[in-house]
Amino acid sequence: LNNSLQVKSSQPKGLLSLYPILCVTLQVFGGLVWILVASTKVQDQNPLGWVMFVSVFCFVMTTLWFFIFLCGGNQSSIWPSLDAGYHFVAVVFFLSASVVLAYITIWLGEAYKNLPDPQVLKVYQLYISAVVMSYVATLLYFLHAIFSALRWKRS
């Protein structure tokens, strides 16, 4: 009788599941956005502050989330909905930051055409790399949100 009353958790457990692999790749690509944008001089009143906020916020929250899951603190019934909710918010944040970063990069590319300066070219190339990493991170957060929503639906 007790065996029929036990509820099987749909939350990932252990290092061999897909969850830690996704978390680590999110950390790598999200951290690269943060590093690439931070390696340039950010001007005052520049919308790259939003990009930095999103990158740092998602990096810290994903690290915290990863350690909570790694330690097994995610076994209550609320965690599937929190997981899906967090990753949906992260997708929206990262997509908005990616669009802002792409816009700034296009603007900087136009500025380089008018004033071919090696320093501007270096910053432009860093921003191009950051845009690519940002969209990859957005895609990974989106995939993670889908998997989290599926786990939430199963729970």
DSSP state for residue 17 in the 8-state scheme: S
Report the length, in residues, of the chain: 155
pTM higher than 0.75, yes or no?
A: yes
Query: Of 80, 31, 36, which is closest to residue 57 (Cα–Cα)?
Result: 31
Residues contacting residue 93 through CB under 8 Å, at least 6 positions apart: 54, 57, 58
Q: What Rg value do the Cα atoms of the chain yield, rounded?
A: 19
Q: What is the pLDDT of residue 45?
A: 65
DSSP state for residue 39 in the 8-state scheme: T
Q: Is residue 61 part of a domain?
A: yes
**Tens-level pLDDT at each residue, the chain (155 residues):** 444 444 444 445 544 456 667 667 777 877 778 788 877 776 666 788 888 889 899 989 988 888 888 888 777 778 888 888 999 999 999 999 999 999 999 988 888 888 888 888 888 899 999 999 999 999 999 998 998 898 888 87
Question: What whole-number distance in Å separates Cα of residue 86 and Cα of residue 65?
Answer: 9
Q: Is residue 21 part of a domain?
A: yes
In total, how many domains does the chain have?
A: 1
Q: What is the pLDDT of residue 16?
A: 44
3-class DSSP state for residue 146?
helix
Residues contacting residue 133 through CB under 8 Å, at least 6 positions apart: 29, 32, 33, 36
- Identify the domain containing residue 26 by its residue range: 17-154
Q: What is the pLDDT of residue 20?
A: 66
Q: Is residue 135 part of a domain?
A: yes
Q: What is the pLDDT of residue 7?
A: 43
